[in-house]
Structure 1
Amino acid sequence: MSDRLDDLERRIDELRAGVRKAMRARDSGTARILRAELRTAERAWDALVSHDGAAPEQDGPAGRGTGSDGPARQGDGAGRRGGGDGRGDGRGDGLRLVTVREQVHQALTLLDAPAQARLIVAVSQAFFSGTIRSPQLTSLRRDEERSFKSSPYARPYYLCAALTDRLSPARGLLAVSTWPAERRLVGPLSPRVDFLTCAVQVARHVGDMARPLPDADRLLARMARNIPGAGDDVFGPPDPGRVIEAARRELRVHAGRDTQDRAELAKRATSQLGAVAGLFGAATLSTVADRRSTGRRGGR
């Protein structure tokens, strides 16, 4: 019991600090998510204490395993598993804090730009003690698209695809449905602009930390190596302020043209795409051919 209480108490302290930082940054979305996690962690702590050291037993469907709809756990090193889109109903083990889907949303909210699975996982682990792994994100977008088609706008947000200049889904890039269309579309300069935007966000959060976290420092160092003047000649963790300054300096070179390109793409997307394609992309000719081929094979 003592070890589990200690883990929960550390997690509660981290979540409280995270809420304060989010409020100082006026990031209401992240603050709302962290407050929900904090309430769950506090309930789990109360449950452990009130049961004289025995955590409540899992029962019913929500307490079985971690399949495609199962929860991901944080704070429990033995149970760091989840799958599919990580949807869950919030019941089960007292140490279950957030689902895979929610962890991805946390990371994307922090980054404030479309991102690849590897970066999403790194941010989740560095700043939120995340437990997700890249393979779990493989089918996430498809699960979100199916959910949207079956019940449009039933959820506060969807994890959707970033769209290319062909208005098709960008390979491996995830975005959040509540972002403006311009932020979810990517033009020729967008990959670099988004990387610099993510670097600024990561550096800001590292700079706001009361005490440095090794994973966060390592992530910032990797990003800084790809930004001229951000700390390539510095031994040890890079200075967050220097990273922000260097990233913004380069952003001033690219941002104007990228903003223009994205605005033009957003106009096209608004006029040509319906609700589903506007979030998850229009089918390309190769996609249609693949579907037809699959249908013919299935009909034999």
Structure 2
Amino acid sequence: MSESLDDLEERINALRGEIRQAMRARESALARSLRAELRRAERAWDLALAAHEPAHDPAREEEDEPPPGSLLPVREQVHQALTLLGVPAAAKMIVAVHGALRAGSLKGTQLTSLRRDEERSFRTSPFARPYYLCAALTDRLSASRGLLAVSTWPLEQRVVGPLSPRVDFLTTAIRVAGHIMRLAETGEPTPPSAQRLLSRLAQNVPGAEPDPALVVKAARAELEVHAAADAAARAEIAGRARDRLRDAERLFGGTVLALAQREA
């Protein structure tokens, strides 16, 4: 490895230590600034590492390789898609949304071990990164199978209750339609892939047609029916999670055995 990679690694490790110190001192503004600097250093490290790898290296891990046409690591592309959606989502939806709205080329296989890698990173160095891709939590406070969320979201946004799948689907439809409407407002053409995604979502929203404004209107109408009950259920689950779970468990879920032993 080159000296620049070594320097970047030292800087990343130093920044993580500085962030922990700032958080312990409750210096939130400094912590945010350091996290932004850490993110830039991590991106520089990714790019520097890519420059030193052979063009065709079979040993290279797929999930660490930025997809063609993008310089962002896979985790940052997933973060972009989840931020656009604002709700926990399965890998299939994340890939579809990112491909349609961000012109990316994520693959479902690249997300297979992502949450596990994020958990390992968090347990090794808690809160060292600006965000983690974590699990949505069920009403049993365990990790929801297949649903990814963002650690910086409030707990109420990262848990799922009985009505949450439908509420989150409607929210997804609204967010996708809203993004397409913003493209139109700026004069940008709507990619065919985005229109196809909108059409698929519209098929599952009563009264909607593959028109973004109509999708938003129909999805919001149904959302009003479920929103209050879903919010109450999520608040109750989030409250229990705060009371019973430790930091890592609040992001990646607790186990039935660990929770039972703690209750005892």
TM-score norm. by structure 1 comes to: 0.65
1:60 maps to 52
Q: Distance in 2 between matches of 1:161 and 1:191?
A: 15
% identical equivalent positions = 56
State the alpha-carbon separation in 1 of the partners of residues 122 and 79 from structure 2: 16
**Within the alignment, does 1:159 sit opposite 2:133 as a pair?**
yes
Conserved? CA contact 1:74–1:129, under 8 Å = no
1:1-300 residue pairs with structure 2 within 5 A? Answer: 59-61=51-53, 65=57, 66-67=60-61, 70-75=64-69, 96-209=70-183, 210-231=188-209, 238-285=210-257
Distance in 1, matches of 2:53 and 2:228, equals 51
1:126 to partner: Cα distance: 0.7
- C-alpha deviation, 1:208, in angstroms: 1.4
Output the CA distance in 1 between the equivalents of 2:104 and 2:53: 24
CA displacement 1:4-49 (0-9 Å, x = unmatched): xxxxxxxxxxxxxxxxxxxxxxxxxxxx9xxx8xxx9xxx9xxxxx
Post-superposition Cα deviations, 1:51-106, rounded to whole Å, max 9, x if no partner, equal: xxxxxxx642597744156321342xxxxxxxxxxxxxxxxxxxx51111111101
Q: May I ask how many residue pairs the two structures share in their alignment?
A: 210
Query: Residues 62 and 145 from structure 1, CA distance in 2 versus in 1: closer, same or farther, beyond 3 angstroms?
Result: farther
Query: 1:70–1:64: structure 2 CA closer, same or farther, 3 Å change rule?
Result: farther
Structure 2: state its 5+ residue gaps: 1-35
Structure 1 alignment gaps of length 5 or more: 1-31, 45-57, 76-95, 232-237, 289-300
User: CA RMSD, aligned part only?
Assistant: 2.6
- Residue 28 of structure 2 is matched in structure 1 by none
1:122-150 Cα deviation digits (max 9, x unpaired)? 01111111121111111110000000000
Give runs of ≥4 in structure 1 deviating > 4 Å. Answer: 61-64
Cα distance between partner residues in 2 of 1:132 and 1:224: 23
Name the residue aligned to 2:32: none
- The structure whose residues are more often helix, as a share, is 2
Decide whether aligned partners of structure 1 residues 221 and 129 sit closer, same or farther in structure 2, where only a CA change above 3 A counts. Answer: same
Moved more, 191-200 or 206-215: 206-215
TM-score by length of structure 2 reads: 0.74
The residue identity in structure 2 corresponding to 1:247 is: A
SS at match of 1:229: coil
- Distance of 1:62 and 1:123 partners within structure 2: 31
CA distance in 2, matches of 1:68, 1:244: 36
Aligned partner of 1:72: which letter?
Answer: P
The 2-side partners of 1:125 and 1:186 are apart by 25
Q: Could you say if the C-alpha distance between residues 102 and 59 of structure 1 is closer, same or farther in structure 2, counting changes exceeding 3 Å?
A: closer
Deviations 1:249-272 (A, max 9, x none): 000000000000101111100000
